[in-house]
């Protein structure tokens, strides 16, 4: 009986310096444990462009790894190890979206809300991966589509947020918001963020939106610098359809950004519809730490003096 080769994609924020060194370490440790490390062709090409040699960048021989899309497909992957911040995790989620492969984040960035550990924990985390000693949690994603004259002209998805923004700095964007098929308000603004609970600590948070616990099912709508008496952040039923229409009277055009990675130009008259996706993103967890503790640690929140429930 042939044992299926366990393949792990490694996505790093950098092909040089600490990102490269940790990628090499992960490749070596996975390989010695009988697993097959995989990297993208993009990372391989950048490593070779940097020095002409994969081994000199990563510190491991090329023979240890496979290249995604060449020696193996996305469907062959058991999981993805992401070395970087939340942006790297969003990149990895995009790479494996077709198969919903679970993601394990190791933070090399500043905050890293989606990451499960820090760089010094890499070896311990790989041992947990080898032993399959982890759980997988689902995070809501969004399906996003753009319509013009009732015809769909673009569709994509988002884990954090879909944002309608003005294209030109000097011109405001005139929009009207719709919730569950009913118009809510129209105003001029810099844009509108439609966010998942996962994205509530990202762009929506910076725009003044609430922090929503990942266990809460909801969709957020947060206006950006709106000229209106009523332009508060909204928390909406997760099964509602939210829409942002760029009004024909708008002096400028807009642009749709999804997770800061996928973009589409919005002419006046464009309509952006956002719904909960039927395909969530799978995130690996290694411990049961609460989201409250994660907030305290990531934002360095002051909790001195807390005594807890009295005995």
Residue spans of alpha helices (H) in the chain: 17-32, 41-51, 54-58, 86-95, 122-130, 203-206, 291-299
What was the pLDDT predicted at 287?
85
Dihedral Cα 264, 219, 93, 157, nearest 10 deg: -30
What local confidence, expressed as pLDDT, does residue 62 receive? 85
Q: Is residue 307 part of a domain?
A: no
Q: Which two tokens stand for residue 269?
A: 């008259």
In terms of phi and psi (left: phi > 0; alpha: psi -120 to 50; beta: otherwise), the region of 134 is beta
pLDDT tens readout for residues 133-169: 999 999 999 999 999 999 999 999 999 999 999 988 7
pLDDT digits (tens, 9 = 90+) for 35-72: 999 999 988 887 777 666 677 777 788 888 999 999 99
- Evaluate whether residue 222 is within a structural domain: yes
Residue 45's CB: how many other CB atoms inside 10 A?
13
Examine the domain organization and report whether 30 and 134 are in the same domain: yes
Q: Is the domain of 94 the same as that of 170? A: no
Angle at 179 between CA 175 and CA 184, to 5 degrees: 55
Domain hosting 97: range is 7-139
The answer to whether residue 310 is domain-embedded is: no
How far apart, in whole angstroms, are the C-alpha atoms of residue 262 and residue 243? 18
Point out the catalytic residue in the list 17, 18, 76, 86. Answer: 86
d(Cα 23, Cα 43) in Å, to the nearest integer? 11
Asked whether residue 16 carries a pLDDT value surpassing 60, the answer given is no
Quick one: 33 and 98 in the same domain?
A: yes
Residues 267, 169 share a domain? yes
Strands 36-39 and 7-12: parallel
- The CATH number given to whatever domain includes residue 66 is 3.40.50.10330
Is 76 catalytic? The answer is no
Up-side HSE of residue 203: CA atoms within 13 Å toward CB?
Answer: 24
Domain count across the chain: 2
How crowded is the C-beta side of 91, counted as CA atoms within 13 Å?
18
154 and 264 share a domain?
yes
Measure the CA–CA gap between 260 and 262, rounded to whole angstroms.
6
Residues 254, 165: one domain? yes
- Indicate if 224 and 182 belong to the same structural domain: yes
Q: Could you give the percent of the chain with pLDDT greater than 70?
A: 96
Helix 17-32 to helix 122-130 angle (10° resolution) is 30
- pLDDT tens readout for residues 5-14: 999 999 987 6
Residues 254-272 as b/e (b if ≥16 CB within 10 A, e otherwise) read bbbbbbbeeebebebebbb
Within-domain flag for 304: no
**191 contacts 209 by C-beta, under 8 angstroms:** no
Asked if 114 and 126 sit in the same domain, the reply is yes
Average the pLDDT over each of 61-70, 152-161, 184-193, 196-205 and give the range with the smallest value.
Answer: 61-70
Of the two residues 15 and 26, the one the predictor is more confident about is 26
Choose between 282 and 53: higher pLDDT: 282
Average pLDDT over all residues of the chain: 91
Check: CB of residue 6 under 8 Å from CB of residue 35: yes
């Amino acid at each position: 009986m042939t044992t299926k080769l366990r393949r792990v994609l490694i996505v790093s924020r950098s092909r040089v310096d600490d990102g490269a060194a940790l990628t090499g370490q992960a490749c070596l440790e996975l390989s010695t444990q009988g697993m097959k490390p995989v990297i993208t062709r993009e990372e391989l090409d950048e490593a070779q462009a940097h020095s002409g040699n994969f081994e000199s960048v990563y510190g491991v021989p090329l023979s240890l790894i496979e290249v995604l899309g060449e020696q193996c497909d996305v469907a062959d992957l058991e999981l993805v190890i992401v070395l970087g911040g939340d942006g790297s995790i969003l990149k990895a989620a995009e790479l494996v979206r077709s198969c919903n492969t679970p993601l394990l984040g190791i933070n090399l960035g500043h905050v890293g809300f989606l990451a499960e550990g820090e760089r010094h924990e890499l070896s311990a985390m790989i041992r947990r991966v080898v032993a399959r000693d982890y759980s997988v949690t689902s995070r809501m994603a969004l399906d996003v589509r753009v319509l013009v004259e009732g015809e769909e002209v673009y569709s994509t998805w988002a884990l954090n947020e879909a944002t309608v923004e003005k294209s030109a700095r000097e011109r405001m964007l005139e929009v009207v918001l719709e919730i569950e098929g009913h118009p809510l308000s129209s105003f001029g603004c810099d844009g509108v963020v439609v966010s998942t609970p996962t994205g509530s600590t990202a762009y929506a948070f910076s725009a003044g939106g609430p922090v929503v616990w990942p266990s809460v099912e909801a969709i957020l709508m947060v206006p950006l610098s709106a000229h209106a008496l009523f332009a508060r952040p909204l928390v909406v039923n997760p099964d509602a359809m939210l829409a942002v229409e760029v009004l024909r009277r708008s002096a400028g055009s807009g642009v749709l950004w999804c997770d800061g990675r996928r973009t589409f130009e919005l002419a006046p008259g464009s309509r952006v519809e956002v719904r909960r996706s039927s395909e969530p993103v799978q995130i690996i967890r290694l411990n049961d730490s609460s989201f409250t503790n994660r907030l305290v640690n990531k934002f360095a929140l002051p909790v001195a003096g807390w005594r807890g429930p009295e005995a």
